[in-house]
Structure 1
Amino acid sequence: MNSLISKTLIPSIFLCFSTRLTLTTNSLRHFKPPSLPPPRLMTSDSSQRVFQLKLDPVTGNSEWVVIEDNDELPEFSKEPLLATTSYLDMLNDSYRNKVFRLAIDKTLTKPCHVLDIGAGTGLLSMMAARAMGLNGMVTACESYLPMAKLMRKVLHRNGMGKAINLINKRSDELQVGVDIPSRADVLVSEILDSELLGEGLIPTLQHAHDKLLVENPLTVPYRAVTYGQLVESTCLWKLHDLYGNEAKASDGIYLVPAGLDTFIHVKSQQYPMHCDAIRKETKLLSEPFKIFEFDFWKRPDSHGETEVQIKAIDDGSIHAVVSWWILQLDPEGTIFYSTAPGWIKSPANIGKGNWCDHWKQCVWFLRGTGMKVSKGEEVLLEASHTETNVSYNVNVRVPQTDIRQHDYRSGGFQLLLSSERIATYGDNKWRLSMLAAVRNALQGRVNRLCVVADDSIFLTLLAANLSKTSHVISLFPGLRDKGAQYLENVAKANGFSMDRVEVSEKRKACLTINDTHGKKVDLLIGEPYYYANEGMLPWQNLRFWKDRTLLDPVLSEDVLIMPCKGILKACAMSLPDLWRSRHCLGEVEGFDHSVVNTTLGACGELPAPKEGPSLPFSIWQCDESKELSEIFTIVEFDFSKPISPCYGKAQVQFTKHGLCHGFVLWVDWVMDAENSIIVSTGPDHRYWKQGVKLLTKPVAVGINGSKSTSEFGSTVVEAFFDPAISELIIKHAFS
């Protein structure tokens, strides 16, 4: 194997999904496993154990493994456990760090007892200890064991180990007189997500005020206020209205037949998004309006409701409510942090500085085609919040008569899909590509057995609709019973009966000849799309190749496999904002954080042979990006054969001058043997995430043969896929 490929391959992957952790875990930012994590166990020697979810995205299998509470992380977890969480991006947000430091210095003017909930790396705890001259008492509560281990290292590096009492528990497990000697005088905490409430802010504050804090405590932050704005956006509409978009399709397939238009939709919730990326496609239909106010210094209510009268400032259709929050960090109202989009010009939004990814705006979709409004018309927004989320209802008030209500309610069967999946299923170009591929595959084949290997309901409907004599088995590894129930409801509208379509009851992709009713599989198809793989790296859909291999014993000799291959594509790009948000940490407000870089998966000056991980990211949401090379092919994956290790290499010539921050990678799925139908998941397509391999440091590049001696004209990029560890290793060398 080429020397650029490391012989030390990454062990089994540990994934911390980039959604949010609800309730009061206080620490593991944006981690949401498929089910609640098992509780800690006390061993006979009184050491703690916690469980880490280990997921193999290529096989779809997962298991809980134990992390021991000892000085060193176990061997399997020495690679970045937290690389896909937002800790690193948050710590690189210099403005956020500055305003917290200013507020803590302003608040802590004398020694007292400070409680830091969700302490993370201990930054706020160390700020508090420093502000009091190390004379006060700081209790840091961090529930997630790997992060607590990391915090101990940070405290030791900064000589703060004795100044801060670190407790590895959830805050609602703390007891005065047992864990802490007395109630705290001051609360410093940052347990906020893009929606504000999703990390358990309300129940955490409730318990803290009830059990852990003195009456009328000081708090940093002091208050948070949420704001919103009504917008029209075709881009946002496509992300939620499958029925309206499918009406424009011409393939004869009905994912949401008339009368069943509520069967498939996105979950009614706020979706984090960089709304500045769609500013040119967005019409503002209202001025910003205030929604909720949450005071940290007093006990919050679990539920709240409010009504806001809003006047439309333009004609249009309300497709969504865009929301954000402003954090007031001091009682006097002189220190603020805002997550507002760039088009909002307010004192709180000025000086925020660099683009960051840990806090975005949120989008709440109105169902259907939206609600039409005229300029000057009054809109009634009804907002409510629970302990962990906010929801909206929008009505248009017709003067002196009645109310046109936008009804969010839907009953009966519901299949909840991601907004990106909704948009994909509603995309006419994508649908026509799939139609052509399946039609070509079925041509000349009668009484055939077709297996849909993934979670594609669209391909199942296509295969059953186009061939009236074929039998279709859908594996639906993620959708399972929901997928079967859905097919039963839409079969008639799509021109087939369920006696020709079935959903496998097996819990894995391996079928026997008995499962296929004694017949060999003539057609094996997939998009590929896996319900559980959404938001992951694009090549993790190579699970289709793994499934194809498991099915090998029941495949006919002339089986047609679609897609027939995958092509790993890449492009060298300038990504200054993304690189800045993920680069190695040094001093953060005067505290050395260099010990966290490897664990958090930073890019930058990591000790050899460490490298930052590949990140799943939607490039179109980067604030600034620029292609520096042509799109190039690195390696191809041949699905006509069982899964096997693959290696590829590409010599890349730069076509533009600029700073290269990394390589963006994706997979083009070749649907037919003639290579005429290709479905790309590249940066030009918004409904898929790409993989981003950030460089150790930015490299100046230019057109090969240019006079500049400080620029590289080319680079070599190599990729090695090892199915044994379900990982793609990317290497590069500039020349």
Structure 2
Amino acid sequence: TKDWCDHWKHCVWFTQGRGAPVMKDQTLSLRASHNLTSISYQLLNPNDEACNGNLKADHLTLLPERIALYGDICWRSALITAIKSALSDRSPQTCIVADDSIFLALLVSSLSPSSKVIAMFPGLRDKGATYLQAVAKANNFSMDQIQVIGKRAASLSTDDLEHKKINLLVGEPFYCGSEGMLPWQNLRFWNARTLFHSMLSEDALIMPCKGVLKLCAMSLPDLWKSRRSLKDVEGFDHSVVNETLGACGDLPGEQQGPCLPYYVWQCGYTKKLSKVYSLMDFNFSEPIHSCFGKTKIEFADAGMCHGFAVWIDWVLDEKNSIVISTGPDSRYWKQGVQLLSKPVEVNPAESAALVEASFDPASGDITFNSSFS
């Protein structure tokens, strides 16, 4: 990690189907074409015929991390167990999939054939509907019980529900196009639940039941260095980018360092300096509201603290027995990284930190304050 930096990103292109068989010393041709917004590829055989053809209309473009998540048996098993548990005591008539979860729409419809499943798909929209139809055709099951709305929660009306109440409200949560944002942007699920409040039945079940904001102190020398504030570069004043892009180090006054979305495992050298702490709970059984939390961080290892990794653990069931963590131990999700204005040297015997956080439901933002002793 000596020369690590986050400036260089790579493109990964997946061949369709099971890939193309190749032999040693065989020559392959790759054809690239582009439109105004994207580049597409074709793998050609020696006869210049496309091995995999054009993208089908039912093709979904998802990030590699999302594709890997759908292939994770532990993640799938957790959702299957949670949905089965939710359906064990009831047979919901109307289920809303509040986000862009293809998996949950298929899962609920297969486990509860008598239910009407309404998929909001606010990001996927028609593409999500087309993909569901392709999956249904390939697996010989009917799409009659699944209805794709393709709009945001605020646009849902009682007419869409045929004037029935919502018995089951679910989400991963996953919103297509928001994968690169801070993890608490997925709290829009809580906002959707609030917008649906008058349409929920008295015993409606909501999954996930709550979110728990977690954090731990981190040593992140490579990331901190890459985000260090700029001044004069080759005679040009670049200080304007410090606030625009988020910078740390040599900031004016008491200005806090930025909180940025990163895959912590991609941040060069990293080291946890504390155990994981819970900072704030978001209870989805209640309408969305402001939240505040604080915790004292005790350091487990000595080192240079550059900031805190922050994420949300999603509690799927009311017994708190099924939890999906989006923390740095997983490679599927980005965490929020709250960088310090200046690194602080810490040790277990003498150092501690107090971290406070507040959630604003109007903006969906969480602000942090930290102090060391």
What's the secondary structure of 1:634's corresponding residue? strand
Task: Classify the secondary structure of the residue corresponding to 1:487.
Answer: helix
CA displacement at 1:649 relative to structure 2: 0.8
Q: What's 2:16 paired with?
A: 367
Q: Distance in 2 between matches of 1:520 and 1:572?
A: 44
2:4 corresponds to which of 347, 350, 355 = 355
1:657: Cα distance to partner? 1.4
Is 1:486 matched up with 2:135? no
Match of 1:426 in 2: 71
Residue from 192, 199, 211 that aligns with 1:554? 199
**Structural mapping, 1:26-41, within 5 Å:** none
**Cα shift at 1:561:** 0.4
Maintained 8 Å contact 1:477/1:509: no
How far off is 1:373 after superposition? 4.5
Shift of residue 415, structure 1, vs aligned partner: 2.5
* Gaps in structure 1 of 5+ consecutive residues: 1-275, 277-352, 706-712
Contact 2:167-2:201 at 8 Å conserved across structures: yes
- 1:543 counterpart = 2:181: no
Q: Distance in 2 between matches of 1:417 and 1:620?
A: 20
2:33 and 2:175 mapped to 1: Cα distance?
A: 32
The residue number in structure 2 matching 1:719 is 357
2:216 is the alignment partner of 1:567: no
Helix, strand or coil at the partner of 1:597: helix
Flag the 1:460–1:661 CA change in 2: closer, same or farther, 3 A: same
Q: Extract unaligned runs of 5+ from structure 2.
A: none
The answer on 1:500 being equivalent to 2:182 is no
1:483-526 deviations in whole A, cap 9, x for unaligned? 22332333355565333221226554453333322321111100
Q: Write the mapping of 1:224-373 to structure 2, written as runs, cut at 5 A.
A: 354-373=3-22
Q: Cα gap change, 1:360/1:488 in structure 2, threshold over 3 Å: closer, same or farther? A: closer
Residue matched to 2:255: 610
- Give 1:674's match in structure 2, choosing from 309, 313, 319: 319
Distance 1:612 1:666 in 2: 17
Deviations 1:620-659 (A, max 9, x none): 1122111111111110100000000001111111111111
1:471 aligns with 2:98: no
- Confirm or deny: 8 A CA contact 2:92 2:167 kept in the other structure: no
* Aligned mates of 2:104, 2:193 — CA distance in 1: 16
- Show the 5 A alignment for 1:43-62: none
2:96 pairs, out of 437, 451, 476, with 451
Question: CA contact under 8 A between 1:461 and 1:494: conserved in structure 2?
Answer: no
Change (3 A) 1:544 1:595: closer
Letter in 2 for 1:473: I
444 and 577 in structure 1: CA distance in 2 versus 1, 3 angstrom threshold: same
Aligned-residue CA RMSD in angstroms?
2.6
- Quote the Cα distance in structure 1 between the aligned partners of 2:69 and 2:214: 20
Letter in 2 for 1:730: F
Give runs of aligned pairs for residues 181-192 of structure 1, distance below 5 A: none
Aligned positions of 1:642-721 closer than 5 A: 642-705=287-350, 713-721=351-359
Residue number among 372, 379, 397 corresponding to 2:27 in the alignment: 379
AA paired with 1:522? N
CA distance 1:650–1:377, shift in 2 (3 Å): same
Q: CA deviation at 1:391?
A: 5.8
Q: Deviation string for 1:86-110 (max 9, x for gaps)?
A: xxxxxxxxxxxxxxxxxxxxxxxxx
**TM-score normalized with structure 1 length:** 0.48
Confirm or deny: 8 A CA contact 1:526 1:563 kept in the other structure: yes
The CA distance in 1 between the partners of 2:203 and 2:257, in whole Å, is: 43
**1:514-525 alignment runs, 5 A limit:** 514-525=159-170
Is residue 174 of structure 2 the alignment partner of residue 529 of structure 1? yes
Code of the residue aligned with 1:500 in structure 2: it is Q
The structure 2 residue matched to 1:439, chosen from 81, 84, 87, is 84
Q: What one-letter code is carried by the residue in structure 2 that aligns with 1:450?
A: C
Q: 1:524-555 deviations in whole A, cap 9, x for unaligned?
A: 10000111312111110000000000000010
CA distance in 2, matches of 1:667, 1:642: 18
Sort the Cα spacing of 1:611 and 1:527 in 2 relative to 1 into closer, same or farther, 3 A.
same
Q: 1:714 to 1:406 in 2, by over 3 A?
A: farther
Deviation at 1:587? Answer: 3.6
**Equivalent pair of 1:568/1:634 in contact (CA under 8 Å):** yes
Computing the radius of gyration from Cα coordinates, the structure with the larger value is 1
Which structure exhibits the higher relative contact order, with contacts defined as CA atoms closer than 8 Å and separated by 6 or more residues?
A: 2
Letter aligned with residue 722 of structure 1? D
What CA distance in whole angstroms lies between the structure 1 residues aligned with 2:99 and 2:39?
33
Q: Is 2:183–2:335's contact at 8 Å kept on the other side of the alignment?
A: yes
Q: Structure 1 386/444 Cα, relative in aligned 2: closer, same or farther at 3 Å?
A: closer
Does 2:356 correspond to 1:729?
no
SS of equivalent to 1:610: coil
SS at match of 1:431: helix
Amino acid of the structure 2 residue aligned with 1:530:
Y
Separation of aligned partners in 1, 2:56 and 2:109: 27
**Change beyond 3 A, Cα 1:469–1:698:** same
Count of aligned positions = 372
TM-score by length of 2: 0.91
CA distance in 2, matches of 1:384, 1:500: 40
In structure 1, how many angstroms separate the alpha carbons of the residues matched to 2:239 and 2:112? 61
1:356 counterpart letter in structure 2: C
